Structure 1
Amino acid sequence: MNNLMKNYPEPNLAKGSRKQKIRGLPSFREKFVAVILGIICFVLMYTVVRVITFIPSTLIQEQNNSSRITRLQKESHCGHCPKDWFTYSNNCYYITFEEKTWNGSLTACASRNSTLLYLDDEEELKFLKSLSVMSWIPVFREDRDHPWKWQNGSTFKLQISDSSPEKRNCAVLSPEVIKSDDCEFPNLYTCKHKLEN
């Protein structure tokens, strides 16, 4: 009897149930589409989370910057600074993003009815460093063996970092230190104008 069963083909019912099982499984194309949609969903979720966490920190930073500028404007005792300048301790400052030589910076500030950034006191130096200002200052020396002087001829008393053996006879204020630099090398500059009392 067993031999007889082996010779007969399987009933159609069994074949149909196998095909139904195969049809019930997703095809390669369906699996591929599902993976692609999953990746897209993940990227979108990641982007949404990044935007949600990035925007508040950016807004806080912008609010801090605008409140610092507003605070600076309120510290003006009298008079007003020109547009695009800011006020601190009865002075107007114009921070540029163009680079000029030391002499070119002196001329550019003079054309704005101001002077190249000079430092009145230690408090102003700390304030400018806190803004990460990098600028030529009107301090120079005749040669490496000569003392540093303000443009008006008075002696400059603050420390200037001067580690290069090259000819560097002009001074630059950076966020960390005041350093020597080549007067002909283009650097950023800041103009300063004292408000009238």
Structure 2
Amino acid sequence: MNNQTQNYPEQNLAKDSRKQQVRGLPSPQEEIVAVILGIICFVLTYTLVRVITFIPPALIQEQNNSSRITRLQKEDHCGRFPKDWFTYSNNCYYIIFEEKTWNGSLTACASRNSTLLYLDNEEELKFLKSLSIMSWIPVFREGRGHPWMWQNGSTCKLQVLDVLPEKGNCAVLSSGDIKSDDCEFPNFYTCKHKLEN
């Protein structure tokens, strides 16, 4: 066979490619690259929009709490306590956005001349629910099957949801409910100081 009369597929492809380039059309390879780049641009744009429009719920919650607390601070301040404290119904509160164990929270509040968040009544619980506070409270038990007690030794009448029956011997206020939790697990906490009349 004569080499000049024989058509190889590679030669045909090269000829077609040259014809497309002459006409100003992209080659098949350029089309593939363009499609890939288009997909990458779409994914990057989509990701950027998601990042810009998505704010983590915890951040929104912290901002909502901060604005409510700022309003409360303007209404009344906690006297000799730092400005981060706010008042409600003759009590001063300090929400701490750091996590400690149950015992660590008790100690941290004591060092601030206050106690770990305790609940005086249903009205106070409703107020704290409106702030969506998550905090250890000074309620514990000796173990499963034992009654829940306040730190001062009195029996706790609040309903504690037993979500960790084996290790959950300390109580945490979370999403408006009081739940059992592992005392060694770090959680947020709130300190409270009762104002004198």
Relative distance call for 1:158 and 1:64 in structure 2 (3 A) is closer
Native 8 Å contact 1:171 1:178 kept in 2: yes
Native 8 Å contact 2:78 2:92 kept in 1: no
1:157 is aligned to 157
Unmatched segments (≥5 aa) in structure 1: 1-17
Residues in 1 aligned to 2:132 and 2:99: alpha-carbon distance in whole angstroms: 16
1:38 is aligned to 38
Residues in 1 aligned to 2:62 and 2:181: alpha-carbon distance in whole angstroms: 33
Native 8 Å contact 1:92 1:195 kept in 2: no
Deviation per CA, 1:110-164: give whole Å up to 9, x if none: 1121111111221222333344433322223456666433223433222122476
Counterpart secondary structure, 2:127 = helix
Where does 1:68-79 land on structure 2 (aligned, <5 Å)?
68-76=68-76, 79=79
- The residue type equivalent to 2:73 in the other structure is Q
Deviation per CA, 1:148-186: give whole Å up to 9, x if none: 332234332221224766475433322252234454x33
Residues in 2 aligned to 1:130 and 1:143: alpha-carbon distance in whole angstroms: 31
Counterpart secondary structure, 1:123 = helix
Segment of structure 1 superposing worse, 142-151 or 28-37 = 142-151
Relative distance call for 1:64 and 1:96 in structure 2 (3 A) is closer
Question: Bigger radius of gyration, 1 or 2?
Answer: 1
- The residue type equivalent to 1:97 in the other structure is E
Residues in 2 aligned to 1:28 and 1:36: alpha-carbon distance in whole angstroms: 13
Relative distance call for 1:19 and 1:67 in structure 2 (3 A) is closer
Counterpart secondary structure, 2:34 = helix
Native 8 Å contact 1:130 1:175 kept in 2: no
Where does 1:142-181 land on structure 2 (aligned, <5 Å)?
147-162=147-162, 166=166, 169-181=169-181
The percentage of counterpart residues that share the same residue type is: 74
Native 8 Å contact 1:73 1:88 kept in 2: yes
1:190 is aligned to 190
1:127 is aligned to 127
Counterpart secondary structure, 1:158 = coil
